[in-house]
Chains A and B, each alone.
Chain A
Amino acid sequence: MEKQYEVEEEMLDKAATENPTGFKVIVKEFKKDKLAMGSLIVLAVLWLAIFIGAAVLDQDEIMYVDILSSYARPGENGFLLGADYGGRSILGQLIIGGRNSILIGVSVTILTTIIGIVVGLIAGFYGGKIDNAIMRIIDFIQVLPTMMIIIVIVTIIPKYNMLTFTMIMVVFYWVGNARLVRSKALTEARRDYVSASKTMGTKSWKIMLGGILPNISSIIIVDATLSLAANIGIETGLSFLGFGLPPATPSLGTLIGYARSPEVIADRLYIWLPASLLILVMMLCINYIGQALRRASDAKQRLG
């Protein structure tokens, strides 16, 4: 039995080297695509600045209300980008909020991708009744008015923090990832190599993780990149409406949310515009990177 596994693994390894997939192709693609390369650099610099800044800054100090500095203009009282109605530094909130939004976006993406892979692989590999049952659940969650339900949950649970909020988002947003993995796994599970492995008596989980998963991994990575952008958008959107992160934990959306008052949107641009631009730049960068990754994963579209 042991020998058979080895043979199989060798075959898989061979297949991997014959098709130039993986890291090399991605590097080549980014070298060829200036826009994606630029996006990668901009995003790396931004995230590094945000995380270093957030490590230096103290959240409690930033969120300390100081009425005397209420609505300080940029440059006043030592506030580089001004202050909000509570005299809290915009720059500080931008950095802390940026970190929180990125952290939530990344954790939601990682968790939904993992759930998506597990559920999608099971549905796609076994097919039939199991697939049917799983798809019914996915269909149902997908037609729910998700945003409203999250808002309702956030209002009725008495206390929540970043972790609980992430969990609430994960509960509703794994379905998209699962649907994609399932559709790819479904076609992959019909391939000869899977039938061969089955005939050889390889355990199902081993085929799923060692055979099917590596073959669809590039699509999963592309999907994860694009859902990262989407998840940051959803979190900031909810926080913008006032139902995302709890009030004491700033998010980029919280800063933009001040613009819901007519006075702030028209006359105090320095409060909400920097956060809006930061989100915009991050979104465009992540999407450009995702696009380049997608091209790298599809030999027909590659530039390099």
Chain B
Amino acid sequence: MWKTILRRFLVMIPQLFILSIMIFVLAQFMPGDPFTGLITPDTDAATIERLREEAGLNDPVHIQYINWIKNAAKGDLGRSYTQQLPVTKVIGSRVANTFSLSLLSLVLMYAIALPLGIIAGRYNGSRIDKVITSYNFIALAIPGFVLYLVMLLIFGYRLGWFPTSGTVSTSGLTGITYMLDRLYHMILPALCYAVLTTTSTIQYLRNEIVDAKSQDYVRTARSKGVPIKTVYNKHIFRNSLLPIAAFFGFQITGLLAGSVMIETVFAYPGMGSLFIDSVTQRDYSVMTALVLLYGLLTLIGSLVSDIIMSIVDPRIRIE
């Protein structure tokens, strides 16, 4: 198994390399340079030239690329054009928001998907199974932003149950009230996200359980006299849960991709909305850094999934 994991790591290196080159090339096409905002109309050409020389902008492209990677590895991603702060600081202030929202979404998603998947699988063909399958089908068909807007309209604006933007109501809250207020701001977006992303988990769990029902080990357990409840809880459920665990990494990847949309609709100040803001304001350094970060996190997400998969399912291990 260690061989598989090592091999998977080795596959990631060229992927990372190509990703970084892609982003570097995209960044080259972006107008502006690191001094946009620093230079005033009074700055004379010689100073600009000196600044450019010092920043290495006159170096050949491959040297620039190497320097960029070196700096990025050290955590130096340049300065934000619009905020006059290091990019890492600008992004850093949003990381916790996106992370906590994602965590809550993930918890809610599993809290909805696992029971529904188990029920649908256990009573497959019954009325409740049909209801769950239809819900699953509709959730798959609805485009996220349409549902988010309608939910925001109903529960945020019309009913006024939930806040419509931000992470905290007023500043100055401390301790437990602060935590609760933040949670209060995250519930609606997290719930919206969770409701739509349950599909793959429910579908998979249902199919696994339906398949498992006719397996020999279940029949053996039943004929030994093991109660049906124990068969489900101890035998079927455990086996069916393994592939769900393997999708964990992809769930994280999906959450990241989804954060752009959900944070924009709910005006939630996370990394996703920062990305849209930076694009709108043409803050190219923040934009580049975020694409790099998301790319890296997505690569890690698929790596984690593959590793879990190889632990769970020995068949896909490489000899």
Contact = CB atoms under 8 A, between A and B. Distances in A.
B26 A237 contact: no
Given A265-B153, A266-B153, A145 B141 contact: no
B38 to A, nearest CB: 22
B213 to A, nearest CB: 17
Given A148-B290, A265-B157, A276 B138 contact: no
Given A145-B294, A276-B146, A287 B137 contact: yes
B291 A145 contact: yes
Given A148-B290, A148-B291, A283 B276 contact: no
Interface in B75-129: none
Contacts of B11: 136, 139
Contacts of A269: 153
B183 interface: no
A156 B26 contact: yes
Interface residues of B, number: 47
Interface string B115-158: 00000000000000000000001101111111001101100011
Contacts of A156: 26, 29-31
A174 interface: no
A139 B19 CA distance: 12
Interface in B265-299: 265, 275-276, 279-280, 282, 287, 290-291, 294-295, 298-299
Given A148-B260, A280-B142, A266 B157 contact: yes
B253 interface: yes
B143 A143 contact: no
A20 interface: no
A148 B146 contact: no
A interface bracket (residues with beta carbon within 8 Å of B): 35 or more
Interface of A is mostly: helix
B264 A256 contact: no
Interface in B237-273: 253, 256-257, 260-261, 264-265
Contact of A265 (B18, B149, B264, B299): B149
Given A236-B143, A241-B260, 19 more contacts: A140-B15, A143-B15, A143-B299, A143-B301, A144-B22, A144-B298, A145-B298, A149-B22, A152-B26, A241-B276, A242-B276, A256-B146, A262-B165, A265-B157, A276-B149, A283-B142, A284-B138, A284-B141, A287-B140
Interface of B: 11, 15, 18-19, 22, 26, 29-31, 137-138, 140-146, 149-150, 152-153, 157-158, 164-165, 253, 256-257, 260-261, 264-265, 275-276, 279-280, 282, 287, 290-291, 294-295, 298-299, 301-302
